[in-house]
Chains A and B, each alone.
Chain A
Amino acid sequence: MTVAGASLLATPHPPAPARPRRPRTGYLLLLPGVLWLVLFFLVPTVALVASSLYDPTGSLFEGYQMTWHVQNYADAIAEYAPIFGRSLLYAAIATGACVLLGYPLAYAIAFKAGRWRNLMLIAVVAPFFTSFLVRTLSWKLLLGDNGFVADTLRTLHLLSPDGYLLATPLAVITGLTYNFLPFMVLPLYASLSKVDPQLIEAGSDLYASPITTFRRVTFPLSLPGLVAGTLLTFIPASGDFINSELLGNPRTRMIGNEIQDLFAAGALPVAASLSVTLMALIVLMVLVYVRRVGTEDLV
């Protein structure tokens, strides 16, 4: 407004126009978010990376010295490579199981639930009303040696009389799948519910059978949800330690367990270098994955 006003009163030698004021409100609104990120993301990350380069001979009582000890990484990776592998494998299997269980569920809620839709969504979210730990502990009871599930499987001869479920990789993966399933279902549901049912009719009108219509229309349109769901499941699952701790055995230990134990034992530099390595691995895998699926191309 000021600029327009000035030009109306323009004289043969107009004074240099006042620099248009940049609105500062936008930056002010950014401030809380930026502060939050700096305090709770940037500072901890820098601290973590710094700790991963401390001299490993220090301890929590004597303190640590920054010696840029890059060797920490080589040691950590050499010693814990199999556990990294196991973590990523368990997380991948759990993510796969979440897709297999979650996709049909999300599809049913989006297209078939009708008036039950909200109730089903609440049922998906309901587990969050109790703590993660308590829910995982209850799986310990469920899968216990004398529990209902094991008994039934033994009766059906699907499990040998001295067989057990708890403290196996299966139990850990089951726990991971259970705990992260809602993170798969919700983004998938969000994507699927946005698919216009008329597109499915159009597919059918254009000579595509229901299966082909799903493959060519519905599924591609649900990819953003699938990508979001797999990321939200895979990333926390690969760093998880509760499920392995409560449902596993020493041979099902995941990288989260090792980091937890190392921190508890005061081996801060190794624990930190493992954490950073895990983070880097995940970022790398996510980048490759998102590139491959190419979601930026989708609506």
Chain B
Amino acid sequence: MTDSRSSAGSQDLVLDRVTKRFGSFVAVSDLSLTVPQGSFFALLGPSGCGKTTTLRMVAGLEQPTDGSIRLGADEISRLKPYRRPVNTVFQSYALFPHLSTFENIAFGLRRRGAKDVRKAVGEMLELVELQSHETKRPTQLSGGQQQRVALARALINRPQVLLLDEPLGALDLKLRRSMQIELKRIQTEVGITFVHVTHDQEEAMTMADTIGVMHNGVIEQMGQPGSLYESPRTTFVSNFLGQSNLVAGHIVDAAGPDLVVEVQGTKVTGLRSRAAVTAGDVWVGVRPEKVTLTRSDASPGEGWNVFRAGVVSDVSFCGVSTQYLVRMPWGQELIAFKQNTGAEAGLRAGDVVDLRWQREHTFFLDASEDAEAGVEHEDGA
């Protein structure tokens, strides 16, 4: 509450070439990152990718082996956790079981000798809508309530950066969705920098202004959810963030504004700006919802890429959309989503179809990367 925030200037959180080794294991490798003040940043990645270690280094619970962490102009990487203007919402909440909701939330203020604790805690209880639970112990609260106590306990200190370590992981799907919206609302309201660690790509995309996708201790790609989704730069990002069709191809013409790639005897074009490599072998990628399936006799329009003569091998109805698996002549199965608008009759397994998509929806990735990287993450989402 008594922050020297007014000493203007940017209070961006900057990680500069941070490395963390545990013995011979490199958890975080030469990571550089800037989180602008007041933004909602998500570190997204599978378990073991180093995202929690990164968060713990910002909190001060781990010491970086190398590199520096700055908050505005202040170097904080050697500061003890209790001297940093940073608070954490722990994955398991880590609420003090011997203290009431009120005392849990008041803990940080009391340690810093703040005045008028009662009023501040009252306001915070109101923000997280727990006014009627202030005398209860954590064990008497539901999971969602505990989560909000953990959030309130951290937020009340008005930290310059709030760290959230998979805070919604323990909640069921519906509650998680509503807490995501709630968290985003609170973040907008208090204007504190949030750094949110999660393995749930949908969660990251819903809440964050900027997402850093982490894999094996490095950030593979960073950007706004939309651009990250539309223009993945690595196979890992293309598979971890949503689903992708990746087909092997070879660049045959890189002279013009568009790249021309040959795939299984068919020429496919796409924008140079969405290519991770511009020569040699590539993965040609397209998102399943961008793909339209047409009966084989239809003629392609201008500006579309086409793969001909696929056979529908599986149809799964998902409510708002239907997912089709189409086996291509070269044996690969590609995915297409189709909105269930009801305008036309659905396809059945065995139907012969063409796959087409608009040229600008094509992206090109480095063929030396594993096309399966980041695929299996069925949990959470």
- Give the B-binding residues of A (Cβ under 8 A): 196, 198-199, 201-209, 212, 216-217, 220-221, 298-299
Contact = CB atoms under 8 A, between A and B. Distances in A.
Contacts of A216: 107
Contact of B87 (A205, A220, A221, A299): A205
Contact of B112 (A204, A205, A207, A299): A207
A209 B113 CA distance: 13
B223 interface: no
B28 to A, nearest CB: 18
Nearest to A298: B98
B92 A217 contact: no
Contact of B80 (A196, A202, A204, A299): A204
Interface string B78-113: 001111001110101011111000000001100110
A221 B157 contact: no
B33 interface: no
Judged by DSSP, the binding face of A is helix
A42 B171 CA distance: 52
A212 B111 contact: yes
B81 A201 contact: yes
B82 A220 contact: no
Q: How large is the interface on B (under 10, 10 to 19, 20 to 34, 35 or more residues)?
A: 20 to 34
B157 A206 contact: yes
B96 A201 contact: no
Contacts of A299: 97-98, 137, 139
Contacts of A205: 59-61, 81-82, 86-88, 154
Interface of B: 59-61, 80-83, 86-88, 90, 92, 94-98, 107-108, 111-112, 137, 139, 153-154, 157
B90 A202 contact: yes
A204 B59 CA distance: 10
A208 B60 CA distance: 13
A206 B139 contact: no
B61 A206 contact: no
A201 to B, nearest CB: 5
A206 B90 contact: no
A209 B82 contact: yes
B171 to A, nearest CB: 18
A299 B112 CA distance: 27
Interface centre among B96, B137, B139, B153 (most CB of A within 10 A): B96
Contact of A199 (B60, B81, B94, B108): B94
A204 B81 contact: yes
Given A198-B90, A201-B61, A201-B81, A206 B98 contact: no
Nearest to A209: B82
Contacts of A201: 61, 81, 88, 90, 94
Nearest to A208: B111
Nearest to B97: A299
Contacts of A204: 60-61, 80-82
B94 A202 contact: yes
Contact of B157 (A199, A202, A207): A207
B63 to A, nearest CB: 13
A217 B96 contact: yes
Contacts of B157: 206-207
Given A196-B92, A206-B107, A209-B80, 18 more contacts: A198-B90, A198-B92, A201-B90, A202-B90, A202-B94, A203-B107, A204-B82, A205-B87, A205-B154, A206-B82, A206-B154, A207-B112, A208-B107, A208-B111, A209-B82, A212-B111, A216-B107, A299-B98
A202 B88 contact: yes
A217 B90 CA distance: 16
B90 to A, nearest CB: 6
